């Protein structure tokens, strides 16, 4: 797979966070991008009493339906429970579910801070608690080895 990201900034303690959530955002403030064409993914670590920026990945924006583009974006979500975006295609939604990432469509300009606060408020919800269970650490490797990616 070709690297289609320009820059990937990661906090060195990112592995300390059991709950990681991603946002398709061009400005680090609001969710305002379609997953398949987002120029940036922002990942936060969430705990009941704390939120920390863990990773910002900037992608090379490529027109069309390049399969490497999609694979690189999915790989950047490793360890995330959820991805908040403006839109995601059905086939990509299913691919994300296979690696344990739940895509959530939200209205354009939804505040990232508000979404993070909501996650903390709902800390005891079953979805969040299920994520705390150890997941297969090789699930992204297996998906990357599949012969074809489906583009939306």
Model pTM score? 0.79
Cα separation of 26 and 121, whole Å?
26
- What does each of the 152 residues of the chain score in pLDDT, given as a tens digit? 445 667 777 775 666 787 999 999 999 999 999 999 999 999 999 999 999 999 999 998 777 666 677 888 999 999 999 999 999 999 999 999 999 999 999 999 999 999 999 999 998 877 666 555 545 556 656 666 665 555 54
Residues near 136 by Cβ (< 8 Å), separated by ≥ 6? none
- Give me the sheet containing 102-105, strands edge to edge: 5-10, 50-59, 40-47, 20-24, 80-85, 102-105
Domain residue extents for the chain: 5-143
What CATH number is given for 5-143 in this structure?
3.30.420.130
């Amino acid at each position: 797979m070709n690297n289609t990201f320009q820059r990937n900034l990661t906090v060195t303690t990112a592995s300390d966070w059991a709950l990681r959530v991603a946002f398709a955002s061009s400005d680090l403030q609001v969710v305002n991008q379609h997953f398949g064409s987002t120029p940036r993914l922002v990942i936060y670590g969430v705990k009941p009493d704390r939120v920390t920026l863990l990773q910002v990945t900037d992608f090379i924006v490529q027109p069309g339906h390049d399969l490497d583009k999609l694979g690189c974006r999915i790989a950047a979500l490793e360890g995330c429970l959820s991805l908040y975006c403006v839109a995601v295609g059905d086939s990509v939604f299913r691919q994300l579910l296979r690696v344990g990432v739940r895509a959530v469509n939200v209205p354009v300009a939804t505040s990232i801070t508000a979404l993070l606060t909501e996650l903390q408020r709902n800390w005891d919800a079953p979805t969040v608690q299920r994520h705390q269970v150890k997941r297969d650490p090789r699930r992204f490797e297996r998906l990357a080895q599949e012969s074809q990616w489906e583009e939306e």
